[in-house]
Structure 1
Amino acid sequence: MASPRSNVTGLDAVFRFFDKDGDGKISAAELTLCMRTVGEELSLEDAEAFVALVDGDGDGLLGFEEFVKVVEVEGEEETERGLRAAFEMYESEGEGCITPRSLKRMLSRLGTSSGIHECAAMICRYDLDGDGVLSFEEFRSMMTMV
């Protein structure tokens, strides 16, 4: 029976897939084998280095808790990359921020017609420092509120 924590994370099946010998730990060899199974090449040396990097208890293996931490960090990094890409679409003027003009331009490309004053009002809702534009940090805050 799966532990309550593994049910919460939904990663217990993935962990069991990687844990080929069923000992409750993932070795570098198991990691290499599983990565190959999903079409990724990972040398044993690289797998050993990776395991050593994230091995919190120093046993040379990845336990479930260590595995969850790795997956959560990867998910956060992927989310950050997605937010950065979305921000760059709206920040089309190369100023490092979303201006009312760049917001209007992107909304127009997406098929929504908004005037410059409406775009300024949209920005104003999430403009934490009151400078009339959205920085990446303000954009990230806005996206996590939505």
Structure 2
Amino acid sequence: MAAPGELRRVFASFDQDGDGRVSAAELRLCMEAAIGEDVSTEDVRVAMASVDADGDGMLDEEEFLQLVEASQQQQQQEEEGGRCRWLREAFGMYEMADCRGCITPLSLKLMLAKLGEHRDIAECQAMICRFDLDGDGVLSFDEFKTMMMG
């Protein structure tokens, strides 16, 4: 997240007429310049309405900072969602070998063999054991995620 001083400078650059408020037109122009593509009037209206606490159709500095924070949170959630989809797909490849909803030593062995890595069950058990947080001998999605993100 950007530092407050940096966000104040961004607000000042959006506030092109220097009145201490950002209009929809100012926000649209600056958003288009920032992302390099057209932004619809409706998208700007919706974004402004989501933080325009006093309903004056303008964003003061505090409202602008709320809009930036909300936008950054949404972007972070979208990035995390993308990582989760990728992780779910990878997890699914490993767990589907014996369809138990988790990665077992057998499913790990089978998937590794498909990838050209030949391991025996004991080696697969040892690999799973390192990340098996609850000690049940298999990897749940959360344990797999911890392994992949760590």
Corresponding residue for residue 112 of structure 1: 117
**Matched residues in 2 for 1:26 and 1:132: separation?**
59
Larger radius of gyration, structure 1 or 2?
A: 2
Gaps of 5+ in 2: 16-20
From 65, 72, 76, give the equivalent of 1:68.
72
Corresponding residue for residue 142 of structure 1: 147
TM-score normalised to structure 2 length: 0.62
* 1:132 and 2:128 matched: no
Q: Number of paired residues?
A: 127
Equivalent position amino acid for 1:91 in 2: E
From 99, 103, 114, give the equivalent of 1:98.
103
**Matched residues in 2 for 1:143 and 1:69: separation?**
23
Q: Cα offset for 1:98?
A: 0.2
**Matched residues in 1 for 2:46 and 2:127: separation?**
44
Q: Cα offset for 1:99?
A: 0.5
**Matched residues in 2 for 1:76 and 1:130: separation?**
27
- For the 8 Å contact 1:56–1:66, the answer to whether it is kept is no
Corresponding residue for residue 88 of structure 1: 92
- For the 8 Å contact 1:97–1:136, the answer to whether it is kept is yes
Aligned pair in 2 of structure 1 residues 136, 144: CA closer, same or farther (>3 Å)?
Answer: same
Gaps of 5+ in 1: none
Alignment of 1:52-63 (within 5 A): 55-56=50-51, 58=53, 63=67
**Matched residues in 2 for 1:111 and 1:82: separation?**
21
Q: Cα offset for 1:144?
A: 1.9
Aligned pair in 2 of structure 1 residues 85, 43: CA closer, same or farther (>3 Å)?
Answer: farther
Q: Cα offset for 1:143?
A: 1.4
Corresponding residue for residue 47 of structure 2: 51
Q: Cα offset for 1:81?
A: 1.0
Q: Cα offset for 1:57?
A: 5.8
Aligned pair in 2 of structure 1 residues 74, 91: CA closer, same or farther (>3 Å)?
Answer: same
Q: Cα offset for 1:64?
A: 2.1
Q: Cα offset for 1:51?
A: 3.2
Q: Cα offset for 1:5?
A: 6.7
Q: CA RMSD in A?
A: 3.9
